[in-house]
Amino acid sequence: MPLNVSRYFALAPGTGVSPKELVQWLLENSPPEVTIKETCFGAIADGPEDELRKLAERAREEFGYAVFSKVRGYPAGDPRVCRRTRGGGPRPGFPQLQREVELLDLIAEGLRALDKGEEVELEEREPVSADTIRKLAEELN
């Protein structure tokens, strides 16, 4: 029996593709055992892992770098993360996903440049030290 998973299908903000358009495409291109839920950032799909991987590959072929996909830790409607059963507020992990979605246009731009064979300069940064993180945490308390 195949393993069921949940995947995010997130739209890069500057794509001009709406979540509704993405969901319609996903519904038309997924097998019956895959369920799709529209979200503010794109969609969540639940179903067999191999089918969702194929769907993600087809979405990349169809939409290019307008759609990004990654595995989600919980299925849609899971009571452990559902706002209705938790009494409201943001879903755990949503601020991280929100930040990732904000960066998708930049990531898409970099991937297109690499596809063209352009050299992409990466800014080297020093890692943040544990002491700096401790000091920041103490300032917040």
Q: Where does the pLDDT of residue 1 fall: very low under 50, low under 70, confident under 90, or very high at 90 and above?
A: low
* pLDDT value of position 81: 76
Element holding 83 (H helix, E strand):
helix 83-86
pLDDT at residue 131 greater than cutoff 90? yes
Residue 132 placed within a domain: no
pLDDT higher than 80, residue 130: yes
Dihedral Cα 54, 58, 64, 66, nearest 10 deg = -70
The amino acid sitting at 13 is P
> In angstroms, how far is CA 28 from the centroid of its own chain?
20
What pLDDT, on the 0 to 100 scale, is given for residue 34?
A: 96
Domain hosting 41: range is: 4-115
The predicted-structure confidence for 54-79, as pLDDT tens digits, reads as follows: 999 999 999 999 999 999 888 777 78
The label of the residue with tokens 């297109």 reads: 112
CA distances from 64 to 17, 30, 58, 69, 125 (A): 11, 18, 9, 12, 30
The CATH number covering residue 59 comes to 3.30.70.250
In a domain, 123, yes or no: no
Whether 31 is in a domain gets the answer yes
If you average pLDDT over residues 100-128, what whole number do you get? 90
- The number of distinct structural domains making up the chain is 1
What is the per-residue pLDDT across 22-42, written as a single tens digit (0 to 9) for each?
Answer: 999 999 999 999 999 999 999
Residue 140 within any structural domain of the chain: no
Q: Assign 8 to helix, strand or coil.
A: strand
